[in-house]
Structure 1
């Protein structure tokens, strides 16, 4: 999949998005004084600890159970995220997500943000309602260059369903400005994404992908305004999250510039399966300085 581009010329979380597939996840936040250090936090995410405990509790029962059929042994579906092939990383079964309540702290309940451009809100996608609009955006050449989801409507539908039917580690949303849908976003758990195999990520690091859908909204510098608003929403609503992550295509200079204007810092160039990306990070400890 492809991308995280913030402006018209470069519509793109995977990142999310992803796409790279929600509150209440357990886990401590990183110390304020070290948020800007790109070092690997060796503490296991609480989701994994819960998974290991569940496996230990049920191991004996499984050893006595009859052999499962091939169909029942099928691997869990994995999220398709922008710029990544479908590579298993950490399979978080649905029962773990439910035990933690929500892997992304209830995006649907985050509420509106007041921005210089007006009142903005993330609204989780409903395929039957939103597919025609998102498909039209994906077939815009300026968007398709980075998202690579142009074509029959079924292409976009498959991308959305892959996230909506997974375990909640990625939430596709419409960005609604002053009551009008005008952008597409993917909010995802970067630490549970294949990105974590390529760069040291910390528990609860949260990624974003986005595109500005309407041509009339491009060139108005809305990208940086909305990126800052969404990054603030993530940090406000996800207290365990110390960093917001994005990986726009390095060729997409307007997008990279929008992230910088939104308080993100350039951390590294990374090679992803479908692109060379600029790893952008917004640190909780620096949010009032950048």
Structure 2
């Protein structure tokens, strides 16, 4: 940066231009092409050049999949910071920062409504809230969504996006894995479909529990899906991993995922799957 640029920036010149440019453009994380933000959002946050599926918020996801007029379940109240955890920052401060940037109090939101007229409950994890990490609030919200599906006798659809369990809650976060597993069993015993939509990324304890217990697993193109990171696996087995390892298409090819579906086709696909698993839902 030259002297003239430093002085100009210190005096505030050009700030309005920089801000507007930042608001107008976004760089695709896959092909690195510069895109108009409006064009990107109008295309459901999918790159029109390379079809890379960007991450979207829980509210956007619910509005995309559910018919207009759905109900948003209240966020369950849990004990915050039960371990009084502190690393480089207090856990309570991390929660405050995350809530200041998000419309919801935690990483899992549940909507109850219909999909093209078919009753359904959808739970969505939001990666923008502390990496979608699974803590007590997420576990409680997941269970609340399952309870609503049991009450309505309708399918429960969960859209996953998480880095795993929330380390700041220690063993209490890991306890959400068996809790969620029990709820999926209750849905199965009631004869209600449990459908999982795997989005980028779905990893760690979430993959090890409810993300892989669905009757049907649908993934978005290019989604990273796995338990441990590629580097950890590679160092453990001391072998080079194949190209595309842990991506949606690789898992589909090897039987871990039932189908890979483009975001614009996801709602119609879910409707078809519901009709197949629960024909009376379309009545």
**Structure-1-length-normalised TM-score:** 0.30
Q: If you compute each CA radius of gyration, which structure gives the higher value, 1 or 2?
A: 2
Q: TM-score, normalised by structure 2?
A: 0.30
Structure number with the higher strand fraction is: 1
**Structure 1 or 2: larger helix share?**
2
